[in-house]
Amino acid sequence: MKGRFFRPALCRLAAAAVAVAVAATACTTAPEQEPRAAPGPERPTGPKVSITPEEGSAAVAPDTPVRVSVEEGAITDVQVEQTTPEGDAEGGADQAAAEDGGGKGFRFTGTLSEDGTAWVSDWNMFPGAAVTVRATAEDEEGERTEAVAEFATEEAPPGQRLELASNFPNSGDTVGVGMPVIVNFDLPVLNKAQVENSMVVTSEQGVEGAWNWVTDKTAVFRPEEYWEPHQKIGVDLRLAGVEASEGVYGVENHSLDFEVGRELVATMHVPDHEMEVEVDGEAVRTIPVSNGEASERFNTTTSGTHLTMTRYESLVMDAATLGIPEDSPDYYKLDVDWAVRTSNSGEFVHAAPWNDRIGSADVSNGCTNMSVEDARWFYETVLMGDVLETTGTDRQLEWDNGWGFYQRSWEEWLSHSATGEPQVTDGSGTPGSVHGEGL
């Protein structure tokens, strides 16, 4: 901290001059005068700035918040620079935001109190990083003080480094209005609330949404209702420094951007043997279909809100993948074309030229059979994340079967979020803290 003080040498000189004056009066007959006290050091001026973690700290937990506080003034600037083990440098800009991101355009933002006396980081630090924090404050007289603290964060050794394994959708994808954000990690996540608060979803038209966990390695974000069509969505995965479980830290940040296209919703009441397809609210096609014959549970088409998943121009459908052995009378193995997956329990929309009951009876193994022409049109028209609403059967789609996430009501979905609060996608951030128990 910089302040203004008398130099010690000047203080000693002043004290010597007073001693000489006292000695002189002892040798004269002049009237006695009370000796004057030597002037003390001038009190420092300017704000008093404190930074935590403190200067020289080592092995600081990466999820420790960086804090700056000031007395007798207000914070005017905070810069946080991190140098990672790979040599990447991240720097800072102003009291409310500082660059980090390793060249990915992220910002190491912080929140400044209303009175300007306290600043706390919004995000965690990189593991194994050399960190420099520079903070400047100013008082009402314009006196400025700058404080600097340098410290190092704890490393994340091999086997304790949380990384992104995969995600859906990918950057650049155009998707349907039902599309969730699916994030798969390479290690289990136990501190789910901290990780949820590290993943920020923004959309041009802000809505409420929330994360749920299919497993300890898979998190899913969906809005309360379907996305509004024709808008861009961004996801910032601020995983660097988040403690996923004891001693396991995220090591890198990621971002993805995708676009919601037109609104396609297909509806199908199974006993009617047809599918109605609407695009942006207008009916575009009525398709004759044949669904599961429903003699057993496995060949009953599920009712509920399905989302279209992966697509295959051609596909071998082997019942063995569903646990049906080859020696079972229910076993089948078929080559199909123009297949669109709608669940993980073997349901597809696909062409079935062998089925002469399309449009009149349900005789499939649970899939939705169409003519070759209609199946190809469906394959070429749908996007990942389009909606298929199915009714009329006694088998309900499970919420975690494929992308059946809208099978949970919004209230139920929100209650299963680790934060218990919605995340609004208007850029206002996440509902809670990313930090651990740190300072």
**Catalytic-residue membership of 367:** yes
CB 405, CB 180: distance < 8 Å: yes
Instruction: Please state, in angstroms and rounded to a whole number, the distance separating the CA atoms of residues 362 and 369.
Output: 9
Instruction: Please state, in angstroms and rounded to a whole number, the distance separating the CA atoms of residues 131 and 213.
Output: 33
Of 300, 293, 290, 284, nearest to 359 by C-alpha is: 290
Residue 87 burial (CB < 10 Å; 0-12/13-18/19+)? exposed
- DSSP secondary structure, 235-271, as one string: EEE--TT-EEETTEEE---EEEEEEE-S-EEEEEEGG
Instruction: Please state, in angstroms and rounded to a whole number, the distance separating the CA atoms of residues 233 and 200.
Output: 11
Residue 390 burial (CB < 10 Å; 0-12/13-18/19+)? buried
Which residues pair with residue 266 across a beta bridge? 277, 388
Residue 180 burial (CB < 10 Å; 0-12/13-18/19+)? buried
Q: How many CB atoms lie within 10 A of CB 326?
A: 10
Residues 6+ apart with CB under 8 A from 26: none
What is the residue type of 136? T
Catalytic residue among 306, 367, 416, 435: 367
Three-state SS for 147?
A: strand
**Catalytic-residue membership of 350:** yes
Catalytic residue among 254, 273, 306, 350: 350
CB 195, CB 244: distance < 8 Å: yes
Active site residues: 350, 367
